[in-house]
Amino acid sequence: MNPVISTLLPAGLAFIMFALGLKLSVADFRRVFTYPVAVGLGLLAQTVLLPLTAFGIITLFGLGQEVAVGLMILAACPGGVTAAMITDLSRGDTCLSITLTAFTSLLSFVTVPLIVGFSLIHFLGEAAPVDYPMGQAIGGLFLITLLPVTAGLLCNQARWLSTAVAKAIGRIATAVFLAIVFVTFFTEWPNITAHFATVGPAILMLNVVTMATGALLGAAGRLPTAGRIALAVECGIQNSALGITVAVSLLSIPGLAVPSVIYAFLMNITALVLVVIRQLQVGRAASSGAYR
């Protein structure tokens, strides 16, 4: 990856998380932990049901060995940091989204080596160890998510920024998010076009099914609409950058990264569709006085 992009991308994500923090308060997080069912359902969907769904889709489509391992690597990854921004734009429970991203990222220190190790043995017949970069992952999670969100939350609690400034920062964060999506599409387009016809349908199914699973679990847990949206987005938005890192840097098999690259493309398409639908729904409800 271009060194400029690799530097600006984390900075952009950190700015987005800061902007989200400006919309949060301590009371919001207290409310999330008052309802542990929502967190438990999210962790179940991400760490158990997502890998099982990926395995089922691999079997259904009869995917090749490397693609199968690559898809399992992706399914083992935690939620992506942009999930909170997409949840926010979709009028979902942003606090729940951030909480789930943090928890699944921490659990990934165990889930990634286990799932990837199983996949290597099952699909490739290789017992290659996965040296998960725990220290790097913890540092990255802290700098890109927890630190900027906390900074934004403290600014909001202390009223250090005016409402107008906070809204301006929110609009800039939305523009940064769209820029990140565009840059991802542009830089990875050759890989996307080369493999999309053979792998794309299976990856699209994984994305749609997992988002639906999150929404259905939310409904089963009697969560409000905002909570169901958060679960759906968290299940559908994966940390594809970590999947690429595991495939290329840790296992040194570039072909394993193809599913993560294509998923990064498709998950943003479905996420933007969800955002548009929710914005239209909220707009109609607000105009009729039904939105709360």
Q: How far is CA 234 from CA 4, 13, 112, in A?
A: 28, 16, 17
Q: Give me the domains of the chain, ranges plus CATH numbers.
A: 3-281 (1.20.1530.20)
Distance between CA atoms of residues 163 and 77, nearest Å: 36
With helix as H, strand as E and coil as C, how does 41-99 read?
HHHHHHHHHHHHHHHHHHHHHCCCHHHHHHHHHHHHCCECCCHHHHHHHCCCCHHHHHH
Tell me the per-residue pLDDT of 6-58, one tens digit each, with 9 for 90 and over. 567 678 878 887 887 888 777 777 766 777 888 889 889 999 999 999 999 99
Q: What pLDDT, on a 0 to 100 scale, did the predictor assign at position 49? A: 93
Cβ atoms within 10 Å of 269's Cβ, excluding its own:
13
In this predicted structure, the answer to whether residue 257 has a pLDDT above a threshold of 90 is: no
Q: What pLDDT, on a 0 to 100 scale, did the predictor assign at position 2? A: 53
Q: What pLDDT, on a 0 to 100 scale, did the predictor assign at position 123? A: 86
Distance between CA atoms of residues 251 and 132, nearest Å: 10
Handedness of CA 21, 74, 265, 257 (dihedral sign): positive
Two tokens, residue 283: 């707009």
Distance between CA atoms of residues 53 and 51, nearest Å: 5
Q: Which string of b and e fits 196-212 if b means at least 16 CB within 10 Å?
A: beebbebbbbbbebbbe
Residue of 83, 77, 147, 88 lying closest to 119 (CA atoms): 77
Two tokens, residue 129: 């160890």
Calculate the average pLDDT of the chain. 82
Q: Are 214 and 60 in contact (CB under 8 A)?
A: no
Q: Are 50 and 120 in contact (CB under 8 A)?
A: no
Cβ atoms within 10 Å of 18's Cβ, excluding its own:
19
Give the chain's radius of gyration (CA, Å): 19
In this predicted structure, the answer to whether residue 4 has a pLDDT above a threshold of 70 is: no
Residue of 96, 54, 48, 86 lying closest to 207 (CA atoms): 54
Percent share of the chain, pLDDT over 90: 25
- Higher-confidence position of 214 and 252: 214
Average pLDDT, stretch 125-154?
Answer: 68
Q: What pLDDT, on a 0 to 100 scale, did the predictor assign at position 74? A: 92
Percent share of the chain, pLDDT over 70: 85
Is the pTM higher than 0.75? The answer reads yes
Distance between CA atoms of residues 38 and 234, nearest Å: 12
Residues 6+ apart with CB under 8 A from 185: 192, 265, 268
Q: What pLDDT, on a 0 to 100 scale, did the predictor assign at position 97? A: 87
Question: Among 63-72, 163-172, 276-285, which stretch is predicted with the lowest mean pLDDT?
Answer: 276-285
In this predicted structure, the answer to whether residue 129 has a pLDDT above a threshold of 70 is: no
Average pLDDT, stretch 260-268?
Answer: 87
Q: What pLDDT, on a 0 to 100 scale, did the predictor assign at position 264? A: 85
Distance between CA atoms of residues 97 and 262, nearest Å: 23
Residues 6+ apart with CB under 8 A from 91: 226, 229, 278, 279, 282
